[in-house]
Amino acid sequence: MPKKGITGHDEWVVTEALATALVALEQLPEKHQPRAHMDDIKKLLMARCDAGAVTLNLAQAKCRLSPDTDPLRIYEDYGLKDGQG
């Protein structure tokens, strides 16, 4: 069976990249945040995800970028309980 796209899981890679980029940019000091680009990244992320999955993807990205923070706390900060969307 031929691969779909370049990697075989292009959709997942791009979705993870968008979520990670958005969370990373949100961690910059406010005066250095490229708000217009961040809004565009969020729109792209929302277009790629099922309803409700955006928040889960952002929480997962925050966990990756903040490995010393309790993941359950991160999920709760994003309005998710027990790591569930």
Residue 85 pLDDT greater than 60, yes or no? no
Share of the chain above pLDDT 70, in %: 92
Q: Which two tokens stand for residue 81?
A: 């309980």
Average pLDDT of every residue of the chain: 92
- Rounded CA-CA distance 28/14 in Å is 22
2-34 per-position pLDDT tens digit = 667 899 899 999 999 999 999 999 999 999 999
Which residues, including other chains, have CB under 8 Å from residue 25's CB and lie 6 or more apart?
33, 34, 37, 38, 41
Name the 3-class secondary structure at 84: strand
pLDDT at residue 84 is higher than 60: no
Reduce the DSSP state of residue 48 to 3 states and report it.
helix
Radius of gyration of the chain (CA): 14
Confidence of residue 51 (pLDDT cuts 50, 70, 90): confident
Structure tokens at 48: 């790629």
At 15, the amino acid letter reads T
